[in-house]
Amino acid sequence: MISDQMIQLVSGSSAIRAMFEEGKRLSAIYGAENVYDYSLGNPSVEPPLEVKETIIKLLENEEPNFLHGYTSNSGYEDVREAVAAHLNKKYNTNFDYQSIVMTNGAAAALNIVFKCILNPGDEILTFAPFFTEYRNYVASYGCKLVVVPANTETFEVNFEEFEKLISPKTRGVLMNTPNNPSGVVYSEETIKKIAAVMEEKQKEFGTDIYLISDEPYRELVYENIEVPYVTKYYKNTFVAYSFSKSLSLPGERIGYLAANPEMADYEKMVAALSVANRVAGFVNANSLFQRVVPYCLDLKVDIEIYNRNRIDLYNKLTELGFKCVKPVGAFYMFPQTPIEDDVAFCNAAKEFNLLLVPGAGFGCKGHMRLSYCVSHDTIVNSFPAFEKLAEKFIK
Amino acid sequence: MISDQMIQLVSGSSAIRAMFEEGKRLSAIYGAENVYDYSLGNPSVEPPLEVKETIIKLLENEEPNFLHGYTSNSGYEDVREAVAAHLNKKYNTNFDYQSIVMTNGAAAALNIVFKCILNPGDEILTFAPFFTEYRNYVASYGCKLVVVPANTETFEVNFEEFEKLISPKTRGVLMNTPNNPSGVVYSEETIKKIAAVMEEKQKEFGTDIYLISDEPYRELVYENIEVPYVTKYYKNTFVAYSFSKSLSLPGERIGYLAANPEMADYEKMVAALSVANRVAGFVNANSLFQRVVPYCLDLKVDIEIYNRNRIDLYNKLTELGFKCVKPVGAFYMFPQTPIEDDVAFCNAAKEFNLLLVPGAGFGCKGHMRLSYCVSHDTIVNSFPAFEKLAEKFIK
């Protein structure tokens, strides 16, 4: 008596589960240090020490029924105020505490936006390659995720297809920059073009179309790349942010949603988001980590550790003949598979104890995702395995 | 462009919001100590000291990327194992780690059950008076909450109506014991009768009907009352539990769902629950508090503090002529309003700086909810206000 939707979702999840089981099986046979697991996006760099120090300070000094108590569904007002001030200073935006909803990570932020803007049958549009979970989130509201095919040369937006697929049913455009899985960061020019298309289509259709920017990797960028702040380019914009990667706290589920004060129906929208946070079962983002946030807004993990992995792995793979758009953000890269069938290729890689994820799940066949949030030893020790893989499929 | 469902939900929430604003307004005029706010279920007794000590010990000793990392969507296996062992020892049940899904509080536990068992158009049945949020949770899955009218003499189950309303569309029966708002605890006899009705109806309709017991107040009982463990009486049972009240950690959103291993499709169900936790946006219950759980399973807040409030407030109200079923659990009581119109009565109470919640929202007009999780001073200082209220409406 399991619901029809969950039967589908469970069967869709079996590939990830199978990968996880395969990793355990290989580790049992060859030892964990001889299995090169590039399948998981679980941060490997330690949180800044200030996180621990702040928690202890709060526990020692705050009244416990306040520290661990229910907060307003949108979060403590002073915490939201601190987030708004931080963003305003850093990006010259004009948020106030009302614009900020503290959430159970970016996943919750996306879900409350969808709950607030989607009627059954509506569409959310996104750009391939995209985080696999988007499809499931949108399905929860009886809606469809429409995928703009990838521009596989650059993983920038395929504007020709974008303009074709955006329709009167499109309630939102969901983008993810820095991107999981490609590691690409959208330039200011790209964002301006997205905004221009959306402005035009809003006028054409007489609808509000929201731009939803999923930004858990905002702080993880390399080569002095800048990540433009999207609310400056388009009024109907939400930004979903998480401290999961910037502070290496993915299990703590702490993030926020920023709603552009210039959006349509702003006052009603922020009221609706608060109620959505409650009725979706999140109630409020966990209170202790909410109170940690104001002390850690200017901190981030040591990204030079990820950067070294990025450079060394990218150089090795391209040297071996793999084709790959150079990633400049997040901790993923997304090379082409040397054969068209990415699932078959990733299965073959397991023979060399390499765990890679087929691109198909990200809406982009013929590619594979590597999460390089692993130890540098894993990177270096995996090179002989990649050499054998290249020998078999490339040379 | 806010979704139709959210427009309804926001308008339904405005009463709570108005109450909150009224509290702020009255406090500003008369001073917070002269406003007797019985409207909120926010625990007032401090968490056991061991919670703080455990967090600090974990921060000092555990590897931070493990402590704050993603967990399996159902939670750390050793934590789930500890919960199962605790329940088995205390209630002679037969859970193992797979039966337990760590959740973002009981609210999340209920939501993932609904996501797993409900197809649009299905029904969940519950007994009045009931926690207002149930209606919103069920609506999220395109389903209807069917309310069995209250037995207002005892607030035990109205079996005549229950048998009439349970139907082939009923996918679940949702009960809440100790009950919010009545403070009643269902006896073993009541639970046996509920189970017997459900067994019979399952056979009659050829369906699985799940019993879902929402138990955030399980540890808050007085007068040596026992709260029977429901899985022992009915196979298709889920228990939604939370540490929000037992440890006074409501803001931390930590709880679990226990699924009876004897239920239909058990293996498939636990797999589905795990996926549901992920795709609903919870991802995993927050990792730090998951790891606190094994150290605090045998602890609870000092309930004698609530008990004193319960006795003193109940005695005063009944002495003044209010009619009330004596509460033996949770931290609420649910007296009759002396006039039929509970909304008008609660509005009148505001004149005496008393904030009470009308029963209508709990599916039970002509009553009012008082949350006595306040300081004992508030209880005692509010007596003159209740006297004036009684003088106006009772004598």
Report the residue from B6, B250, B282 with minimal CB separation from A104: B282
Report the alpha-carbon distance of residue A109 to residue A30 in Å, rounded: 40
pLDDT tier, B15 (very low <50, low <70, confident <90, very high otherwise): confident
Q: What is the pLDDT of residue A21?
A: 81
B31: left (phi over 0), alpha (psi -120 to 50) or beta: left
Helix (H, G, I), strand (E, B) or coil at B148: strand
Q: What is the pLDDT of residue B96?
A: 97
Residue A54, pLDDT above cutoff 80: yes
Distance from CA of B155 to the nearest CA of A (A): 26
What chain A residue is nearest to B121 in terms of C-alpha separation? Answer: A3
Report the alpha-carbon distance of residue B316 to residue A51 in Å, rounded: 48
pLDDT tier, B11 (very low <50, low <70, confident <90, very high otherwise): confident
Burial class (CB within 10 angstroms; exposed 0-12, middle 13-18, buried 19+) of B103: buried
The predicted-structure confidence for B278-296, as pLDDT tens digits, reads as follows 999 999 999 999 999 999 9
pLDDT tier, B259 (very low <50, low <70, confident <90, very high otherwise): very high
Helix (H, G, I), strand (E, B) or coil at B107: helix
- B-contacting residues of A 89-108, CB under 8 Å? 104-105, 107-108
Chain B residue numbers touching A116 (CB-CB < 8 A): 2-3, 6
Cβ proximity of A235 and A93 under 8 Å = no
- Interface residue A252 vs chain B (CB under 8 A): yes
Distance from CA of A8 to the nearest CA of B (A): 10
Q: Report, as an integer, the average pLDDT of B93-110.
A: 98
Q: What is the pLDDT of residue A324?
A: 98
Q: What percent of chain B has pLDDT over 70?
A: 100
The predicted-structure confidence for A127-153, as pLDDT tens digits, reads as follows 999 999 999 999 999 999 999 999 999
Q: What is the pLDDT of residue A144?
A: 97
Q: Report, as an integer, the average pLDDT of A58-82.
A: 97
pLDDT tier, A43 (very low <50, low <70, confident <90, very high otherwise): very high
- Interface residue B182 vs chain A (CB under 8 A): no
The answer to whether the CB atoms of B111 and A280 lie below 8 A apart is: yes
Q: What is the pLDDT of residue B1?
A: 83
Q: Report, as an integer, the average pLDDT of B153-175.
A: 97
Report the alpha-carbon distance of residue B293 to residue B392 in Å, rounded: 49
The answer to whether the CB atoms of B42 and A70 lie below 8 A apart is: yes
Place of tokens 């993923």: A332
Residue A237, pLDDT above cutoff 80: yes
pLDDT tier, B395 (very low <50, low <70, confident <90, very high otherwise): confident
The predicted-structure confidence for B289-339, as pLDDT tens digits, reads as follows 999 999 999 999 999 999 999 999 999 999 999 999 999 999 999 999 999
Report the residue from A45, A116, A253 with minimal CB separation from B283: A253
Q: What is the pLDDT of residue A319?
A: 98
The predicted-structure confidence for A256-281, as pLDDT tens digits, reads as follows 999 999 999 999 999 999 999 999 99
Residue B131, pLDDT above cutoff 90: yes
Q: For this complex, say whether ipTM is above 0.85.
A: yes
β-bridge pairing B123-127 and B144-148: parallel
The predicted-structure confidence for A22-34, as pLDDT tens digits, reads as follows 888 999 999 989 9
The answer to whether the CB atoms of B52 and A42 lie below 8 A apart is: no
Residue B16, pLDDT above cutoff 80: no
Q: Report, as an integer, the average pLDDT of A317-338.
A: 98
Place of tokens 């996926």: B275
The predicted-structure confidence for B379-392, as pLDDT tens digits, reads as follows 999 999 999 999 99
- Interface residue A190 vs chain B (CB under 8 A): no
- Interface residue B276 vs chain A (CB under 8 A): yes
SS3 for chain A, per residue? Answer: CCCHHHHHHHHHHHHHHHHHHHHHHHHHHHCHHHCEECCCCCCCCCCCHHHHHHHHHHHHHCCHHHHCCCCCCCCCHHHHHHHHHHHHHHHCCCCCHHHEEEECHHHHHHHHHHHHHCCCCCEEEEECCCCCHHHHHHHCCCCEEEEECCCCCCCCCCHHHHHHHCCCCEEEEEEECCCCCCCCCCCHHHHHHHHHHHHHHHHHHCCCCEEEEECCCCCCECCCCCCCCHHHCCCCEEEEEECCCCCCCHHHCCEEEEECCCCCCHHHHHHHHHHHHHHCCCCCCCHHHHHHHHHHCCCCCCHHHHHHHHHHHHHHHHHCCCCCCCCCECCEECCECCCCCHHHHHHHHHCCCEECEEHHHHCCCCEEEEECCCCHHHHHHHHHHHHHHHHHHCC
- Interface residue A117 vs chain B (CB under 8 A): yes
Give the residue among B276, B283, B52 at the shortest CA–CA distance from A253: B283
pLDDT tier, A354 (very low <50, low <70, confident <90, very high otherwise): very high
